[in-house]
Structure 1
Amino acid sequence: MIIAQAQDLEQRFGGNTIFSNISFSVPDNARIGLVGPNGAGKTTLLKIMTGQQEPTSGQFTINKGLKVGYIAQENGLDEDKTIWDEMLTVFNDLIEKI
């Protein structure tokens, strides 16, 4: 079963194309990694996957009820929290519903 899918994603900023023709699908129980050189668009793709940003063209869909989350590499961590607590902040809206 496919739980997430990208179709022909393209992202441009001004006259610069960050990436284009990105298509993939994620089956359930998959473990995936996103690697590439600086400036390749990894964070931009993650922002599209989490709904924080719209692609210039194409679409990304996830199954209803699922949520994509990530922890940014910039140090925006609360030093008073444990790593576990920081990871849980990605899912605050889900935890509040419990």
Structure 2
Amino acid sequence: MTDFEVGDWIVCVNLDDPYSKAVGLEIGNRYQVTDLNWGLGYTQCVRCRQFKKHPNMDFDFWIYSYCFIKEDPFQTKVRQVRDQLNQP
């Protein structure tokens, strides 16, 4: 069991879930947790616009939580600051 919470940023580390390829999950990409269902061992994630190949496609998907690790909090802060600096 992982220690994810809603709002956490997580990184895909494997594609062992049967639906991972169908929803376009990619190893190394970051996703944000939008809901948790520990009874089934799933994590619901929403793809972040800045990391999507198709920014007009906004959808949530359920994937087994063991496909992810929590993003390092320092890396999250660095990315957020960098994104703010790059805004027009």
TM-score, L = length of structure 2? 0.27
**Higher RCO structure (Cα 8 Å, ≥6 apart):** 2
Structure of higher CA gyration radius: 1
Q: TM-score, normalised by structure 1?
A: 0.26
